[in-house]
Amino acid sequence: MDSIVTHGGRMVDYEVIARKSRDDITDYSANINPYAPPASVTTAILQNIYKINDYPDPVSRRLRQIFSERYGVSKDCVFAANGASEVIDLFLRVLRPKRVVLLEPSFSEYAHAAKRNLIPIKKITMASDFCLPIYSIKDTLRKGDLLVINTPHNPSGRFYSRSELEVIYELILQCGAYAMIDEAFIDFVDGGEEHSSLPLVHSHIVVVRSLTKMYGIAGLRLGFGVADQKIVDHIVQMRDGWSVNLLAEEAGIAALQDHSFAMKTREWLREERNDCMKQLEKIHGVIVYPSSANFLLVDGSFGGLHVAKWQEKLTKIGFFVRDCASYGTFTPSVFRMAILHHHKNAILIDELASELSS
């Protein structure tokens, strides 16, 4: 049985391909905080492990209340889900847009969710600087469409300010379309909450949030949807009643209350990301795109890099990057790397320099 998952973080696959144990694999393909999970989260899991004989709360009341207090939104406008992927799927199932409009390149789950729900897809190719293609959006959007925007953008890491997005929202309201804003990586952005679309949520604007990346709980799966209360009520009535397990809820509560962990992560990331960019820019034939997130998009076209062939060499030492060829808009020379511990980043960058000099 082959997995339909095409994005990074496929640790079991990597173990098989590299013939190495998990401890001998370094995964640059999944953008997970290398310092996660924090002690607050692991402690909460251990302290509540005895409760696994109980059913979880179907509506995650405590978790939603904590989310409400953290981000200043009504708990009645929030639902928790089995990762951001389920949030995306539930929004499409309830909103039933006529088309899903994607800004390419984009996270593959948007298209997968649209196809599962038998919704036509319209793609808009972004420019090389990954700015919001406002005129193309204006020309494309029709009544009943759902436009998907993720900020910071994956895979480029470009962050869109609230003022940039407000221009899009005006277009949304004018033509009677919807906007789904995926803020899965916004926790990594300095001052990110000041530009979040959470305060702008209403019947035609919904927001996706995730705890997976910052707090390192990808295996537990936990995401949030924020929308008009009528949309949330509809989702709660038609969804699976126990998609968020008990330990995921306890981990989420602990994570949302651990403000210092996220702050310290952003401080570390600011320096480490800048250092990675400087070292990458020293390599002849490499372009690295500015990023506000915990990953970097790297183009080795001018140096003759072929990522798939390079990955064969990396596999021998247990390293895996995110080959961006599957996005459909990149050449075979483009990859994305998660920003990990300093020594791990340095080794990968040295491997890249060696590959392009050979």
Q: Phi and psi (nearest 5°) for 25?
A: -115, 135
* Overall domain count for the chain: 2
Residue 3 lies in a domain: no
| Main-chain dihedrals φ then ψ at residue 6, nearest 5 degrees | -115, -10
Same domain, 238 and 271: no
Asked if residue 206 belongs to a domain, the reply is yes
pLDDT (0 to 100) of residue 3: 46
Is residue 82 situated within a structural domain?
Answer: yes
Whether 83 maps to a domain, the answer reads: yes
State the pTM of this model: 0.95
Instruction: Quote the CA–CA distance of 277 and 167 in Å, as a whole number.
Output: 31
Which are the contacts of 190, defined by CB distance < 8 A and separation ≥ 6? 266, 270, 292
Query: Percent of the chain scored above 90 by pLDDT?
Result: 91
Q: Per the omega criterion (within 30 degrees of 0), is the bond before 97 cis?
A: no
The encoded tokens of residue 353 equal 């320099």
Helix (H) or strand (E) holding 80: strand 78-81
Does 124 lie in the same domain as 270?
no
CB burial class (10 A; 0-12, 13-18, 19+) of residue 143?
exposed
118 with 252, same domain: the answer is yes
Q: What is the largest CA-CA distance in the chain?
A: 59
The dihedral built from the CA positions of residue 124, 281, 184 and 1, taken in this order, carries a sign that is positive
Instruction: Name the average pLDDT for the chain.
Output: 95
Contact 319, 330 (CB under 8 A): no
Q: Say yes or no: 189 and 300 in one domain.
A: no
Whether residues 314 and 223 fall in one domain: no
Convert the pLDDT of each residue in 22-80 to its tens digit: 888 999 999 999 999 999 999 999 999 999 999 999 999 999 999 999 999 999 999 99
Asked if 74 and 209 sit in the same domain, the reply is yes
The burial of 251, by beta-carbon neighbours within 10 Å (0-12 exposed, 13-18 middle, 19 or more buried), is given as buried
Residue-wise pLDDT for 80-135, tens only, equals 999 999 999 999 999 999 999 999 999 999 999 999 999 999 999 999 999 999 99
Shared domain for 165 and 300, answered yes or no, is no
Q: Is residue 1 part of a domain?
A: no
Asked if residue 295 is part of any domain, the answer here is: yes
**And the tokens for 252?**
């989420």
Residue 2 lies in a domain: no
**Tens digit of each residue's pLDDT (9 = 90 or more) over 274-299:** 999 999 999 999 999 999 999 999 99
51 with 163, same domain?
Answer: yes
User: Same domain for 301 and 347?
Assistant: yes
Tokens of 95: 């909103």
Point out the domain boundary residue: 257, 281, 297.
Answer: 257
Domain containing 264: what range? 11-37+260-357
List the beta bridge partners of residue 124. 103
Model pLDDT, residue 6: 55
Residue 11 confidence (pLDDT) above 80? no
Last residue of a domain, one of 257, 283, 307: 257
Q: Is residue 5 part of a domain?
A: no
What ranges make up the beta strands (E) of 201-341?
205-210, 223-226, 287-288, 295-299, 319-320, 322-323, 334-338
340 in the same domain as 242: no
Boundary (domain end) residue, out of 207, 230, 257: 257
- Residues 185, 266, single domain; the answer is no
Higher pLDDT, 149 or 5: 149
Interval 159-168 mean pLDDT? 94
Pairing mode of beta strands 319-320, 26-27: parallel
Q: In this structure, what CATH number is given to the domain that contains residue 252?
A: 3.40.640.10
Q: Tell me, yes or no, whether 75 and 24 share the same domain.
A: no
Peptide bond into 199 cis (omega under 30): no
294-344 residue pLDDT tens = 999 999 999 999 999 999 999 999 999 999 988 888 999 999 999 999 999
CATH number of the domain to which 314 belongs: 3.90.1150.10
Q: Rounded to an integer, what distance in angstroms lies between the CA atom of residue 164 and that of residue 137?
A: 13
